[in-house]
Amino acid sequence: MAPQFERVRSGSGHQYRIDGHRVKGVTSILSDGVAKPALTKWAAETAANCVIDNWDAIQKMTPSQRHKYIAAAPYRDTDRSKAKGTEIHTHAENLVTGNAIAVRADIRGYVDACASWLRDFSVKPLMHEIPLCSVMYQYGGTADLIAEIDGETALIDYKSNRSGLFGDMALQLSGYAYAEWCITSEGIVPMPHIDKCYGVRLMSDGNYEFCPVEVNGHTFSQFLAAQTMAEFAEESRYYIGAPLSPVTKVAA
């Protein structure tokens, strides 16, 4: 029997609910459960670049204003990247559905890259922006595209970041591919069998990289390990009790 599954808007993102209970999304699981040392380096460099690039303006600020402005630099950069990525994904979806689109000049290259990829590999879209869930493992998510490529059913995720594709994409696509249910125009139906998974990196100069991504039982077990660590990160603050004093009895 199909579960009660819904994706609901929450702020700038979404929440997922299975049978009335909120569950984490795939990207949130990976954000909370997978260590990313490169992000620490990136945040430090972004803050340093903020000082160098805005030195004259920063000198006119009070010390507390400087601190606030510099400390927020990585978050401003992330917010801009997320907004751009969302817009690029929307245009990619419009290409798949055949909707007429007006594209801003600064992201036209990304959209051209997506159009070229769809044409070059004779991609036949089957489903796009697919809400999905696992009842067994209690998570939700939204996949970018399921399409037929060379006679096989493929699961595709778009990326438009500056640094390329990263290995944790295998965990993200594993979460999607091993979900049991998805939402279509016909309602909540079993997730189709996925033959292969791919990442498509869309670039600002109109080029793209189309890369196969290994997804199997092993990568799915690693995704579930990340889910466990995400749960630990959320619950760990409750694991330490209040400080004891010399007169406090320690329970046997």
- 9-27 pLDDT, tens digit per residue, is 877 778 999 999 999 999 9
Backbone φ and ψ of 165, nearest 5°:
-90, 140
Backbone φ and ψ of 217, nearest 5°:
-60, -35
**CA atoms in the 13 A half-sphere facing the CB of 30:** 20
Mean per-residue pLDDT over the chain, rounded: 91
Taking residues 27-43, report their average pLDDT: 85
Closest CA to 140 of 43, 17, 251: 17
Q: What share of the chain has pLDDT > 90, as a percent?
A: 67
Centre a 10 Å sphere on the Cβ of residue 120 and count the other Cβ atoms it contains. Answer: 10
With 80 as the cut, is the pLDDT of residue 36 above it? no
Taken in order of first residue, the domains within the chain and their CATH numbers are 14-235 (3.90.320)
pLDDT of residue 171: 97
What's the DSSP call for residue 25?
B
129 touches 144 (CB < 8 A): yes
User: Beta partners for 208?
Assistant: 202
pLDDT of residue 248: 65
Closest CA to 201 of 190, 193, 213: 213
pTM assigned to the model: 0.88
pLDDT of residue 14: 84
Backbone φ and ψ of 11, nearest 5°:
60, -125
Helix, strand, coil in percent for the chain, rounding step 5: 45, 25, 30
Model confidence pLDDT, tens digit, residues 88-106: 988 898 888 888 678 888 8
With 70 as the cut, is the pLDDT of residue 5 above it? yes
- pLDDT class of 251 with cuts at 50, 70, 90: low
User: Beta partners for 148?
Assistant: 124, 153
Closest CA to 118 of 103, 141, 98: 98
Q: Name residues whose C-beta falls within 8 Å of residue 70's C-beta, 6 or more positions apart in sequence.
A: 47, 50, 51, 58
With 70 as the cut, is the pLDDT of residue 68 above it? yes
